[in-house]
Chain A
Amino acid sequence: MSDPYAVPVPEGYRVGAWEVGAPIATGAFGSVYEARLRTDAPPPRARPADPDESAPPPGVDGPHGLPGTAALKFLPTGTRTPRQLTHLRELAEREVELLRRLRSAPRLIRLYETLTVDDPERPGLDGATVLVLEKAEGSLAALLARTPRPGDGPALLAQICEGLAQLHRAGWVHGDLKPANVLLMRDGSARLADFNMAAELEGTHAYTPAFSTPDYTPPELLWSEIGERGRRIRPSADVWAFGVLSHLVLTGSYPLPGGTPSARRDAAVAYARGTDELRLSPLLPEAWRQIVRDCLARTHRERVGGEALLRRVEKAAGAPRSPRALPRRVDGRRTVRGGRAVLGAVAGVVTAAVVGYGISALADDGSGRPRPGTENSATASTPGTGAAHYGAAELRTDKGIPVAYRRLIVDSAHDCVQAQVTPALIAAMLKAESDFDARLADPALDEYGIARWTPRVLRFYLRSDGRPTERIPEPPFTPAQSVPAVGRYLCAIAPRLDVGLKGDERVLIAASYRTSYKKVNDAGGVPPKVRAYADRVAHYLKEYTPPGKK
């Protein structure tokens, strides 16, 4: 009964357009198999799990817009599969949701489609969820088993850290970072995978299923309280796991002493309680010592986070500093590969944004409303040197975009991982909405400020942590409030638009801002009602985009 494979699938089995090949790996919940795309015969025994998924994302080669080979992950979510467990359905949903929403994050494994096996003759498979994922060459765990201290360890760590930063920026926590969940691609680069434990942040916490991998679990989560919604987890849990992983990759050993997981767990507890010190391996390179130490800080509050960690890791790895930390970025070009933008360069730095123009005033003060003092924000602040050319590679400087808003526009666009949300798009929308009039007030339509925000909608995008404000905000809305909120809203819209709608994706996003992504999906393109607005956005989009850029 104890089949080593969580979900046994015979070789040659057909699911959708895929023919299952050799097994790749199995985990506690699902099993992964190699698969080949078949071009013959209509796909039997499977239906798209979600109609949205049936259309391939743009820029994928292959007869159906799918790659020639893929990795199929089977999760036994069927009602009669022998290992059917209630929580598996939830785990599968988490992974699908995350991968759909973060489709364009380059350091996360790609999801091509999801299928549900429809094969009553095989009760063991019927109803299983199948994720069709980008095929990797292997995992970091396998690499470490062969080569305990890989020479390109630092570079891999920088890429892993970049993946974590992408997740965290988008408001998700991985929840189960470890070598087996880091995949290595043919070109040697690393991507994060296995998002069954991932959870979207609700404020400062997320709720993940109560599963964990002992050696990578931060001490505060060992034996932590568990509510009905699962375990409360913060992004700092991923940071701890990254610290453990870095130590393992760079020295071949775990940072906490002990020959067994439970001994190491005790050591973690003793360290967190302050009864023991952290003694890192002498093999750990000097440049990494402080980073690992800061990842493994005793409490989650002391742990280094997000962008600061990424910058330090990249420096230690000697990786070319990825242009994401951009206050003074010269070249903001996106590398376009295979039709998809590679996003390393895109997302802006939240912390930098805060320093940049007093957005800190938006921090929650409990009332859900901005604290007084927001007025002297972008408009009034003295722009730093080069403000007039800020983001010039992506946003023209000679078309009348007010200099005072450039930084705000460019950074708000970069805060979003979605490639289509560009500075030029936000600028074009502000032009079309208000002609950059920060004082606009249109009580008749209930729209205010430079982006014509409707207060009851703005409520959901005002806060950078993604939580709605307690009360509906009251106008006036400053540009420092309005513009980042536009970025966040567009970022939420982009992944929800159906693939294959008519028209420029960016214009469709703008049209959704005016109506809703649902109306745009239903209309199959720009709805007639907002045609004029969309045309204006398209016009300015073209005008504001520097020559040579899409």
Chain B
Amino acid sequence: MYSIIVVPPPTTEGEHETPQLRLAPGERLTFGRSPADNGLTIAHEGVSRAAGEITAHSAYWILSNLSAHQTYVVENPEGAGEHIKVGPGRLDAPVPFEFSRIVLPAAGDLLPIEVWAPRHDYLRSPGGLDGATTAPAFSVDRTKRYFAVLAALCEPRLRGAPHAPLPTVDQVVDRLIPHWPSVTRTTVQWNIDYLAVKLRLKPGPDTADTGPRLNGKKESLVSLALRFDLVREDDLVVLAASRDRTAR
């Protein structure tokens, strides 16, 4: 029932070892240098003892800046520079992004805390979100990169070969690179992991490693996406040359 995922900043020892934290609506997570009072301890001298607080709120989250002097910037990594600033002492500032990176200035370093809000709702067919209408359980943003990755994965099967082999991660990179020059194997894999979280596939991204396991995950993603029409043939335009969102 969580709606928010917090990815702690990478630590010096072991990069992927810090576990993700999942928050349900109403749950709070405090972060800061002091291990005593914080749900998330950031062991860096430049960070306040009580630096801030993240509260999951419905499908979005709010941020309190508890530091005395530092302004936190919350960036939208896919937003071409889109960001908000949360000044010192500001409480409960709402953050509207599906992906966010809180950047904590810490004695010359910038420490990123990533926060994902995978439950954001998006309009499907005509008509709004209405509590009495039967709605699919998934909600995807067709302008996000994860959607381009999903479309690239589904493409061979949507183009008419129902049992076509899925593209490899490298092939997905090749397919996306004309419109997304910075794409790499890692970003594609990251997006596949994120899709598994967003579409609530059974194994979480922190338990699934790369390699053969990823293949199973791709297969599950594609069959789910096709079964529930998350990607349709006309959605493949996101792969077409006319679209260039990095130039925005």
Contact = CB atoms under 8 A, between A and B. Distances in A.
Contacts of A180: 132
A171 to B, nearest CB: 22
A87 B135 contact: no
A385 interface: no
A501 to B, nearest CB: 38
A27 B26 contact: no
A85 B226 CA distance: 10
A13 interface: no
Interface string A216-236: 000110111111100100000
B24 A225 contact: no
B201 interface: yes
B137 interface: yes
Interface string B188-201: 00000000000111
B138 interface: yes
B125 interface: yes
A27 B135 CA distance: 10
Nearest to B118: A223
Nearest to A196: B134
A367 interface: no
Interface stretch (A259-267, A304-312, A398-406, A409-417): A259-267
Interface string B6-49: 00000000000000000011100000000000000000000000
The winner among A141, A176, A219, A225 for most chain B CB atoms within 10 A is: A225
A178 B59 CA distance: 24
A222 B201 contact: no
Given A223-B2, A262-B129, A176 B134 contact: yes
Nearest to B126: A2
B125 A226 contact: no
Interface residues of A, number: 44
Tell me the dominant secondary structure on chain B's binding face: loop
A471 interface: no
A265 B58 CA distance: 8
A273 B131 contact: no
A219 B2 CA distance: 11
A132 interface: no
Nearest to A213: B134
Interface of B: 1-3, 24-26, 57-59, 119, 121, 125-126, 129-138, 199-202, 220, 223-224, 226-229, 232
Contacts of B1: 219-220, 222-223, 269, 272-273
A223 B200 contact: yes
A209 interface: yes
Interface in A122-167: 141
A28 B137 contact: no
A220 B125 CA distance: 26
A59 interface: no
A210 B26 CA distance: 25
B179 to A, nearest CB: 26
B229 to A, nearest CB: 5
Contacts of B119: 223
Interface in A167-205: 176, 178-180, 196-197
Nearest to A83: B125
A98 B229 CA distance: 24
Interface of A: 2, 4, 27-29, 85-87, 141, 176, 178-180, 196-197, 209-215, 219-220, 222-228, 231, 260-266, 269-270, 272-273, 275
A269 B136 contact: no
B87 to A, nearest CB: 27
Given A260-B131, A261-B130, A226 B201 contact: yes
Contact of A211 (B3, B136, B199, B223): B136
Given A180-B132, A213-B133, A228-B220, A275 B26 contact: yes
Given A85-B229, A266-B26, A266-B58, A228 B224 contact: yes
Contacts of A262: 58-59, 121, 129
28 contacts: A28-B133, A28-B134, A86-B226, A176-B134, A196-B134, A210-B136, A212-B135, A213-B132, A213-B134, A213-B135, A214-B129, A214-B135, A222-B1, A223-B1, A223-B2, A223-B3, A225-B202, A226-B137, A226-B199, A226-B200, A227-B220, A228-B227, A262-B59, A262-B121, A265-B58, A266-B26, A266-B57, A269-B25
Contacts of A224: 200
A269 B24 CA distance: 8
A209 B224 CA distance: 10
B131 A226 contact: no
Contacts of B133: 28, 213
Contacts, number: 99
B202 to A, nearest CB: 5
B134 A266 contact: no
A262 B3 CA distance: 12
Contacts of B201: 225-227
A29 B133 CA distance: 11
A311 B24 CA distance: 36
A226 B58 CA distance: 20
Contacts of A273: 1, 24, 26
Given A196-B134, A224-B200, 16 more contacts: A2-B126, A210-B228, A211-B134, A212-B134, A213-B131, A214-B131, A222-B1, A228-B220, A228-B223, A228-B224, A262-B58, A266-B58, A269-B25, A270-B25, A272-B1, A273-B1
A86 B227 contact: yes
Contacts of B26: 266, 269-270, 273, 275
A210 B220 CA distance: 15
A538 B2 CA distance: 61
Nearest to A226: B200
Nearest to B59: A262
Contacts of B138: 210, 226
Contacts of A196: 134
A141 B132 CA distance: 10
B59 to A, nearest CB: 7
The winner among B2, B25, B59, B227 for most chain A CB atoms within 10 A is: B25
A29 B229 CA distance: 13
Nearest to B224: A228
A226 B224 contact: yes
Nearest to A267: B25
B228 A266 contact: no
Given A85-B229, A86-B226, A261 B134 contact: no
The winner among B2, B24, B126 for most chain A CB atoms within 10 A is: B24
Contacts of A197: 134
A224 B137 CA distance: 9
Give the 3 A-B CB pairs with smallest separation, nearest first: A261-B131, A2-B126, A215-B131
Given A227-B202, A262-B59, A264-B131, A209 B228 contact: yes
The winner among A27, A227, A228, A231 for most chain B CB atoms within 10 A is: A228
